[in-house]
Structure formats: structure tokens, C-alpha cells
């Protein structure tokens, strides 16, 4: 039954393929430039984030609720989820299944108000989730499958975009389409050794977790072929697969001598935004 529904929906969104033509003007527009990509990992609590000359900035999901990331005025922003901009959300967990008011949508609306000069990339399935679409709004969609198999990545934003196994993969795929030749990954903690768990907006401090699946690392290495990848972690954490630095080593050109203070979420998120996160967490639509 589910496969039939997906087939029908896929056909429906193929009728909207012309909505992707707007992306053509962006192809290779940033040839040979460097893009700083923010995940939502807890390691961000260790950093004093500033904008540095010569870099473009891309963030995802809830990152712009972080006051320092918001102050960067990110150039690009990715919201990866399908059907996540509509007023109601279907909750499907191990305990129960039900429809609920979509509180994540309220977070995205808040973020889009903050990012008037930011270009947003969202899944085409959200096309009818807006009363007023922002001017700097672009869509992506995977028409052939939800994600690629092997190394047959297709990151054509005007047609099929199958780099969809998570927000990091989407951001890297978009970066390749835009022409960036180097990406600097911050808050992508699952790439580190040891791996930190938790999010920057969490009530908890980051903690050490189990390593990420090697199959995911291999997939990411295939996707990043022909581009330079830099990973940024707190002192004492490195990547076994990519070049890695601390934030100060890479951006400030100075060596860290000790691990910095871990910021609390209420130190880096405005109270109104934090309350919205707490409500959304209570409704089991994200996890603090």
C-alpha cells in the first residue's frame, strides 16, 4: 500500500518539475569557493562562532535559532524533511499514531523571518505549505528514489536530486551543484572519533556515543569525491576519514591549549525560541 502511495505522490510531484527551473541560475555560481556547513551537533556549544572573510555559510534545520549562527546571516539554509511545512503533522512512533498541530512548522516560520537575505532550499513536497513564499526560496526533489544506490549520485537541482540520506548529504549535494570546491563541516559530530552525541539546542551537554556506521562514511566519501572536506571538532576529537581541526586552529590560526567551556542552550538561544523548542519537544516532534 505504501509503495503505491509513494508512486502516486512521485507522479504528482513530477507535474511540478518546472518549479525546479529556478535552480538553473545557481549552477556553478560559486566555482572554486569555500562553503562552511553547519549541522546541529552538540559540539557547536564549544565554539565562539564568527563570520570570516572569504567563506560562504550554509546551515540546516534549527541552526539559525543559535544566536551566533543567526548573526552570521547564512547565505544558504536547508530544511530537509518532506511534508514538513503543512499545518498538521502525522506522528508515527512505537507507542501511537495520530495527527497533531505541526510545531516544527512554527520553528521554520520563525527561522525564515530571521533569514530575509538567506536563500532557503526545501523539499518540493512542501510547495503548498506556504501562504506567502519567500523570494529566496528554491526546491529540490528525488524523482527516481529517495536516495542513490552506490556512487550514482545525481545532484541536479533542476531535475533529479537523490543526495537525500540526511541533511548533511543534501547540503553537500547542493554545495556541489553550486560549484563549491571545499566544504568545512561544523556540528557534524557523527564524523568524529570519538563521536559526540546530542544537539546544540539540547538541555544536555554533549556525550560520547557509539561510532557511526562505516557504510555511511563510505557513502559520504563517494559523494565528496573531487571536493576538499575539512571537519571541525572540539579539542581531543578528530576525523579518521577527513582533515580535521579545532575551530580556533582553522579560523583563528591559533592552537587550543585546553577544551573550552560548554555553553548551555539558554546561553545561545533566545528565550522565546527556546520555549518554542520545548513545546515542540513536548509534542514529540523533536528531542531536546
CATH number assigned to the domain comprising residue 108: 3.90.1480
Domain with 168, as residue range(s), is 2-282
Q: Within a domain: residue 220? A: yes
Determine which of 31-35, 97-101, 151-155, 168-172 has the lowest per-residue pLDDT on average.
151-155
Q: How far apart are CA 26 and CA 36, in angstroms?
A: 18
Q: Dump pLDDT digits (tens) for 177-200.
A: 999 999 999 999 999 999 999 999
User: Above 70 in pLDDT, residue 1?
Assistant: no
Read off the pLDDT band of 75 (50, 70, 90): very high
Q: How far apart are CA 111 and CA 89, in angstroms?
A: 19
Contact yes or no for 232/186 (Cβ under 8 A): yes
Domain count, the chain: 1
Contact yes or no for 233/189 (Cβ under 8 A): yes
Q: Dump pLDDT digits (tens) for 234-265.
A: 999 999 999 999 999 999 888 776 778 899 99
User: Above 80 in pLDDT, residue 224?
Assistant: yes
Q: Within a domain: residue 288? A: no
Q: Within a domain: residue 287? A: no
Contact yes or no for 116/158 (Cβ under 8 A): no
Cut 0.95: pTM above it = no
User: Above 60 in pLDDT, residue 229?
Assistant: yes
Amino acid at each position: 500500500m505504501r509503495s503505491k502511495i509513494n508512486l502516486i505522490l512521485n507522479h504528482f510531484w513530477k507535474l511540478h518539475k518546472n518549479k525546479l527551473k529556478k535552480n538553473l541560475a545557481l549552477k556553478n555560481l560559486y566555482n572554486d569557493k569555500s562553503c562552511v556547513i553547519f549541522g546541529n551537533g552538540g559540539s557547536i556549544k564549544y565554539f565562539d562562532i564568527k563570520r570570516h572573510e572569504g567563506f560562504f555559510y550554509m546551515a540546516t534545520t534549527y541552526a539559525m535559532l543559535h544566536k551566533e549562527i543567526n548573526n552570521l546571516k547564512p547565505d544558504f539554509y536547508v530544511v530537509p524533511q518532506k511534508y514538513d511545512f503543512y499545518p498538521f503533522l502525522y506522528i508515527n512512533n512505537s507507542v501511537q499514531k495520530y495527527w497533531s498541530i505541526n510545531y516544527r512548522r512554527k520553528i521554520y516560520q520563525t527561522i525564515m523571518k530571521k533569514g530575509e537575505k538567506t536563500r532557503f532550499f526545501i523539499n518540493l513536497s512542501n510547495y503548498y505549505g506556504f501562504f506567502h513564499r519567500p523570494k529566496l526560496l528554491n526546491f529540490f526533489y528525488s524523482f527516481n528514489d529517495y536516495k542513490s544506490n552506490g556512487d550514482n549520485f545525481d545532484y541536479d537541482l533542476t531535475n533529479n536530486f537523490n543526495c537525500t540520506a540526511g541533511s548533511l548529504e543534501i547540503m553537500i549535494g547542493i554545495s556541489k551543484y553550486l560549484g563549491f570546491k571545499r566544504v568545512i563541516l561544523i556540528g557534524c559530530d557523527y564524523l568524529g572519533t570519538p563521536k559526540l552525541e546530542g544537539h546544540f539546542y539540547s538541555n544536555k551537554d554533549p556525550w560520547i556515543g557509539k561510532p557511526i556506521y562505516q557504510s555511511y562514511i563510505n557513502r559520504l566519501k563517494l559523494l565528496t569525491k573531487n571536493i576538499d572536506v575539512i571537519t571541525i571538532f572540539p579539542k581531543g576529537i578528530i576525523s579518521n576519514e577527513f582533515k580535521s581541526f579545532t575551530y580556533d586552529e582553522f579560523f583563528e590560526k591559533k592552537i587550543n591549549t585546553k577544551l573550552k567551556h560548554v555553553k548551555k542552550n539558554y546561553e545561545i538561544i533566545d528565550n522565546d525560541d527556546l520555549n518554542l523548542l520545548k513545546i515542540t519537544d513536548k509534542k514529540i516532534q523533536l528531542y531536546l
